[in-house]
Structure 1
Amino acid sequence: MSEYITPNGRIPTRHAKESLLRHGFQELFDLVDDIIENYSRRTTQSDGATVYIQRTRGKTTEHNIVIEGEEGIVTGLLK
């Protein structure tokens, strides 16, 4: 079993493993599950990938994003 599988069993692609870490996600990747399960908005890209957008609140309204394609989690961004 890959060390990169999220607690809820989602599998990041090879690209996502590096990208998620670079964009501020921690290796447990539990935040990936949280964004997907508690999204504020969901949309589909032209390539069929699903984009999950989670609105966050701090001093300003920001958004966390996870993109999931046929191969698994593609990337994510924390704001």
Structure 2
Amino acid sequence: VPDAPAAPKISNVGEDSCTVRWEPPAYDGGQPVLGYILERKKKKSYRWMRLNFDLLRELSHEARCMIEGVVYEMRVYAVNAVGMSRPS
């Protein structure tokens, strides 16, 4: 299983979207990383929501359908043939 990716960084914040970027895991678990899963939640919520159904192949993603003025947390998982990492 790969290590967790680096903590995501947020840029290009718009009214209802932002760009999320992250660095790949330091260790791939002995198998190539196939892609990433991105999740977000409202700051005071406990429920994480997955933002992609197919694995993300890039190290960035434009998160959409956000509510202006709401604070969100984001996390990323790396996925390889063995399984899924811990969250960033």
Q: Which TM-score applies when normalising by structure 2?
A: 0.30
Q: Which has the higher contact order (CA 8 A, sep 6+)?
A: 2
